[in-house]
Amino acid sequence: MFATFVLLSLALLFAPVSADFARPCASHIPASWTGAVRSATLADCAFSTESQTTGAVAWATYAAEDAAMGLRRGPAEIRAAQETAYARAGYKLLWYPTEAKQMGSFVVTTGRWERHVPNPEGGDGRVLHGRYVTMWQLQKDGSYRWVWDGGEQDDAAK
C-alpha cells in the first residue's frame, strides 16, 4: 500500500511538469514580457522548437560565435557535442522559459527542461526534468544569440 502511495505521489508530482511540455513553448511567455525580454524569450522558444526537428544544428544556429557550454566553445564545438545525444533514436530535449531579466545587451532566461533519454538496450528509456539558464546577447543584426547555456537536473542537489 505504501509503495502504491509513493508511486502515485511521484506520478502526480511530475505530471504537471510533463503536461506543460505539450503546450507550445511561446505559450509560456506572458504578454507582460515586452521589448528585449520578449525578443530573447521568443528566440529561446524558436531554438527549443527548432531543436525538435534539426537537433544539434539548432544549437549551432542559435549560438553566438563566442558561445560557451561547459568546456565547448563556439557553434561548431557545441554542435559536435550535441550530435551524440541527438543521434540516439528517441532522444528529445524540450524546454520553455519561466523567468527572464534584461541586463544591458544581455537577457538571461531560466526555465524548465524535459529530456527523453532512450534505453540503448531497448525498452523504456528515462524522462528527466530540470532547470536551465541561458544568457542571450543582442547581436549587431538585431537578433539574439545565446552566449552561455547550462542547467541542472531536479534531483542534482540530493
The predicted-structure confidence for 106-158, as pLDDT tens digits, reads as follows 999 999 999 998 887 766 788 999 999 999 999 999 999 999 999 999 986 55
Q: What is the pLDDT of residue 18?
A: 72
Q: What is the pLDDT of residue 143?
A: 97
Q: What is the pLDDT of residue 26?
A: 95
Domains in the chain: how many in total? 1
* Rounded CA separation 64/16 (Å): 33
Q: What is the pLDDT of residue 11?
A: 37
Residue 158: inside a domain: no
Full-model pTM? 0.83
Mean per-residue pLDDT over the chain, rounded: 87
Contacts of 44 (CB under 8 A, 6+ apart): 25, 95, 96, 97, 109, 111, 134, 136, 146
In CATH, what number is assigned to the domain containing residue 12? 3.10.450.50
Q: Can you give the residue range of the structural domain that contains 42?
A: 2-153
Q: What is the pLDDT of residue 130?
A: 96
- pLDDT > 70 in the chain, percent: 86
Beta strands at 144-153 and 63-69: parallel, antiparallel or unpaired: parallel
**Half-sphere exposure at residue 21, Cβ-oriented, CA atoms within 13 angstroms:** 21
What average pLDDT does this structure show over 32-38?
98
**DSSP 3-state assignment of 20?**
helix
Residue 17: inside a domain: yes
Residue 60: inside a domain: yes
